[in-house]
A and B are shown apart, each in its own frame.
Chain A
Amino acid sequence: MRYEPENRLVASALKYWKWNGFLSSLFWWIVPLAYFFAIRFLEWPQWILGVLIIACVGITILATTLFPKITWERWRYDVSNQEIDLLYGRWIKKRTIIPMVRVQHVDTKQGPLMKQFALSAVTISTAAGSHEIPALAEEVADELRDRISVLARVVEEDV
């Protein structure tokens, strides 16, 4: 029996996801906003506006508290010499294993919000799709990227 991967994501990743969730949830507020302007011109019932606002408050609260927490609690990863082992998924628990010899290239990326929290994402690409470790401390991500890149180069094999 193989053990589940051990490494957790860094604690600041949770903070980042909370902010990210909050900002993305603002998108939904377009709906009540549009409705608010619509009822100034159209004879639509007022109470729907209330329902929409309550729904948006709910979405924002969930997106800034519960969802990031569940996602963060679940995330684990491991990088051995042979393979990359990922455990994640908010509702559906997913375990992905990528054999090291199949890694085509690996890169890190950092959005503006991630930069605020000194985080980076590591993307691992194979000939059939790519996988991501979404939030690691910058130094950890850089170190991991370089390590995977070296390990992947050891066995030069064909597709």
Chain B
Amino acid sequence: MSDPERLHPAAVLEYLIKNIRSLIEILLPGSVVLFSSPLRREWIIGFILILLGLYIGFAIIYWLRYRYYVYNDELRVEYGVFTSKKTYIPLERIQSVQVSAGVAQRIFGLVKLEVQTAGGGLAAEVSLPAITLQQANVLQERLHLPPIQRMEEESSDHPSPERKLSWKELMITASTSNGLGVVFLGATALISQVEQIFPDRNIYEMLGHFLSGYGNKGILVWVVMFLLLLIMAWLLSMLGTVLSLGGFLLIREEDRLVISRGLIEKKQVSIPLKRIQAIKIVEGVLRQPFGLITLHVVSAGHGDKSGRDVVLFPLLPKKDLDEFLHIYLPEFAIEKEIIPLSAAAKTRYRLIYTIPALLIAIPVSILLPYGFFSFLLPIGAFFLGVQQYKDAGWKINGDQLLVRSRMFGRVTTLLKRQRVQSFQLRQNPLQRRKGLHAFSIMVASSLGGTNISLNGINEQDSVEIIDWV
């Protein structure tokens, strides 16, 4: 048993900052109404000050009442100003502990500690918004977790294997994370080339003529504005990536992986190896040509707000993958040769997107001027389908299953037999005629389950996979 502990007093500040928006939303319109009323100014200011005082007083009482402790193998949190609330979490139900430090925490050298269980969706079950590193470590010890790495300094003489994301890699990650920007940068580069070949023509003006059909400059302005907006959006998303992935550090401890990241808000998450459900090797459209990959882990109790998997490492040359897995995830190994889909599945992949795209393109080309350009869509869809067929495949090696498929980026998933929550084999009437099957495997994840599926395997292979499960 440990004595009930309070949060650091800075939690009051954290609470005030967190709720400042709702405060402004109430105070601003309220004060406008009051000031325009015939009441005396001093009265109004006094009234607002009293409200503010009550608000701060509330935050202080909230802080005073907030206690946490470990008792009877449970993490217990008791809080609440008017109604007293108690949350008890059995220690063995805790799936992950995430430690982070935002601006408010870093000023006081504090951390925020969030506890996740497998149930209950994305929000953390318990969030301790401001505790000292020492308090956090005491708690970590009680929860049978290793002490937290220092959030600030670099862990230099660490005996465990570790890998950092260099600034160069960070920049490559950021600029290839969003396909849009590169496409438009490429387009403008191309246009400037064309301009040099035909120096007496203004290519933008030509584009404007072309798009309007009458040489109306008004449209040109809109096009340029639109392009500028897109470039701005891309730069912003790049900045977002830099801020969230900056200082990325992966450490392999005895029985867990510790990931630290973030430039302004530091985040640290530790994932026990035995809680890893599957790993995903993602080759994005823009990264694949350069032989670069991103690694994700699927784990129950981790994952960000949009339900995406945890990034294990943002950017890795493909040739380093074997070595990387060997050091950080020795249970997993990538297969060089994979079993392709049945040849009978080719038709499905060729038509699956092409037909809907044609259904859009045909009316569009009839109804709109220059609408025939929309036929690029079904052509693109056809080649995407062909590529998807080529990339897809699977391989069983002992108790590891590899599944590779492509939506846009190519994703290779590795999972262990003992992680399979359920296995499903499907066959629609068309597939029955050709003796084809589709399978999908559910593994546990932060959103209650991740589906790993592959369409177009033949009868014999389906039997092999169903026997593997």
Contacts and interface: CB of A to CB of B under 8 A. Distances in A.
A97 B423 contact: yes
Contacts of A131: 422
A126 B277 CA distance: 14
B275 interface: yes
B421 A127 contact: yes
A42 interface: no
A58 interface: no
A86 to B, nearest CB: 9
Interface stretch (B6-14, B352-360, B390-398, B444-452): B444-452
A159 interface: yes
A95 to B, nearest CB: 4
A3 to B, nearest CB: 11
Interface in A125-159: 126-129, 131, 158-159
Interface in B83-137: 95, 118
B199 interface: no
Contacts of B428: 91-93
Given A92-B426, A96-B422, A96-B424, A127 B118 contact: yes
A94 interface: yes
Contact of B422 (A91, A93, A126, A158): A126
A18 interface: no
Interface stretch (B58-66, B176-184, B461-469): B461-469
Contact of A159 (B95, B426, B427, B463): B95
Nearest to B469: A97
B427 A92 contact: yes
A129 B428 CA distance: 22
A42 to B, nearest CB: 29
Contacts of B466: 2, 95, 97
A105 to B, nearest CB: 12
A9 interface: no
Contacts of B300: 127, 159
Interface majority SS on B: helix, strand, loop or mixed? Answer: mixed
Contacts of B275: 158-159
A83 B468 CA distance: 13
Interface in A53-93: 83, 89, 91-93
Interface string A104-141: 00000000000000000000001111010000000000
A89 B425 CA distance: 11
A94 B420 CA distance: 17
B442 interface: yes
B467 A2 contact: yes
Contacts of B424: 94-97
B307 to A, nearest CB: 13
Given A93-B426, A99-B469, A159-B275, A128 B421 contact: yes
A98 B421 CA distance: 6
B125 to A, nearest CB: 15
A101 B420 CA distance: 10
A95 B425 contact: yes
Contacts of A102: 420-422
Contacts of B445: 128
Interface in B411-446: 418, 420-429, 432, 442-445
A109 to B, nearest CB: 20
A101 B445 CA distance: 17
A34 interface: no
A2 B423 CA distance: 14
3 smallest beta-carbon distances between A and B, as pairs: A128-B449, A127-B444, A128-B421
30 contacts: A1-B463, A92-B426, A92-B427, A92-B428, A94-B424, A95-B425, A95-B426, A96-B422, A96-B425, A97-B423, A97-B424, A97-B469, A98-B421, A98-B422, A98-B423, A99-B420, A99-B422, A102-B422, A126-B422, A126-B449, A127-B448, A128-B422, A128-B442, A128-B445, A129-B422, A129-B442, A129-B449, A131-B422, A158-B275, A159-B95
Interface of A: 1-2, 83, 89, 91-99, 101-102, 126-129, 131, 158-159
Interface of B: 95, 118, 274-275, 277, 300, 418, 420-429, 432, 442-445, 448-450, 463, 466-467, 469
